[in-house]
A and B are shown apart, each in its own frame.
Chain A
Amino acid sequence: MRILVTGIAMFALCVSAHAHRLNLFATASNGVISGKAYFSDGKPARGVAVQAYDPGGAALGETTTDEEGRFEYALPVTGGAVTLKSISGDGHAAEFTVTPADPAGSAAAADTPAASGPSPGGASAGTIERAVDEAVARQIRPLREQLDAFEHEVRFRDAIGGVGYIVGAVGLVALLKARRGHGRP
């Protein structure tokens, strides 16, 4: 009985471990990188460590995904691109680079006006721009997530194409064998 319970618990813990590919996706705003890790069948990757590296390859820090495969990481002050890497225990690995253009861009915009322009009018051009940037980033985030998932989705035509390659390869081998056979009596 205990073995059965352990088995079921173990099974429930690692149901997502069988998927074939691990994917990472992240965006950054308000000085926080937030993202998610998921397997190729759309299931969240739970409790997987995500490491952050700067462009030079030096480790910045580490975080772990929650029950829904989501993680958050405080954007380092360096302002450059941050590469996120994740290796799950069973041989899956994924990498995603948060480029400075989208995340750190808004972070930089967040820093400069705050430092340089405490304009008395309240809403300076910088503040408005920052607010718009953030709102737009927030709005298009689901779209980007969907696009990222769509890009990694395996499509029917890929499978059919692969089978076609195998048939073609065997045809080629058969042809070569037949030719060699003709050479000899």
Chain B
Amino acid sequence: MDAIILQILNGLDKGSAYALIALGLTLIFGTLGVVNFAHGALFMIGAFCAVTLQRILTLSYQVIDETKTDFLGNPLKVDVPYVQAWFGEAAGAAIIDWAVPLAILFAIPIMIGVGFIMERGLIKHFYKRPHADQILVTFGLAIVLQEVIKYFYGANPIPTPAPDAFAGSFDFGALLGFAENTIIYPYWRLVYFVFSLVIIGAVFAFLQFTTFGMVVRAGMADRETVGLLGINIDKRFTIMFGIAAAVAGLAGVMYTPINSPNYHMGMDFLVLSFVVVVVGGMGSLPGAVLAGFLLGILESFASMKEVIDLIPGINQIIIYLVAIIILLTRPRGLMGRKGVMEE
């Protein structure tokens, strides 16, 4: 029982990332009809927003420490961050420590801007082209973006730790009456899970309870009729692209303490996120979220030693296996709508 609870918990944070990326993918597909293979790159750019803010906050001047030497035997140059010089050592260190949460504020305008430029500058020219063209151009864009990031940040992962307040793990086992250390879960992953629920809730509330959201939903259902009512639906869909980019970016920002970001992290999530979208049902926002968590948890279960011993290699194919089964039994996915991607 404890092992089952443990794997469900483990699946939640991975599922959170899948759900957030798939949510953005579905928003873009549902509004613009574009299959955006560059969406993983937006997740990666979000993560590098956190890296960038961390670097800005740790911008330093050098002081010479005569008591120590560097690797060449010269007096050691010690980096002193400007924020520590300006705000004092303790306050400066605290600001640097909270770089990742602060990066949320930093990333939102950047990601909306990136999304806007991406949509207006490139993707809008492919609205009326076949999906194959859209996939090719957005996949190419993803490769360009990751190479740009690699050029500026290098190929190695860059450590971007969570604030010290969230270091360590919570002992769920003790809380539920199990033995000590049987069900442990890192605090930051809990934060990530809660954060993703908040974002998902905010997106749904925005679409459900605002006039803007109502128009967007109407446009998703019948774009032409909304256009005939004199509403500039294209403008609203462009804004939705920016919002989808921001959702992916925020998912990336908050993911950085879980895994040190590298230029390739977007591609690592992209294919699985597409599987999530298809399993959830093309164009279905609740389906994307549901499938994200479901597949995250299944992937976690498939990584158990007992399962791998029983079916070697299952951890590498489980998601695709489940996707095949679901699509065979429910061709539109878990919550897919009739008519979407069926023509």
- Is this pair of chains taken from one and the same complex? no
Give the A-binding residues of B (Cβ under 8 A).
none
